Amino acid sequence: SKRKLYCVSTWWTKPKVDDLISTACRSQGGQFVDIKQLSKLPGMKATSTGRFSNIGVAAHPSDKGMEEVAKSIFRSMKGGGSD
């Protein structure tokens, strides 16, 4: 089969969860894509938009953050790696 498996880390820093995802992904021959570093960059969280009063909602990726997540996954798919 030409199908490939890509698994993505959590947005937040959750080492135990990310380790579980990474281990399960690799055990199935998949590629683990680590995106958590993006959440630490300016403008990547929805808090930067001022559009959400709920801090839990605002902690999620902004539109720019989602774009960067997609780019990270696409780079991995093109062979650029992530881990």
Using CA atoms, how far apart are residues 83 and 62, in angstroms rounded to an integer? 23
For position 2, what pLDDT does the model report?
81
Q: How far is CA 30 from CA 21, 26, 33, 60, 77, in A?
A: 10, 5, 10, 25, 11
Over the stretch 13-64, which tens digit does the pLDDT of each residue have?
Answer: 899 999 999 999 999 999 999 999 999 999 999 998 888 899 999 999 999 9
pTM for this model (two decimals): 0.85
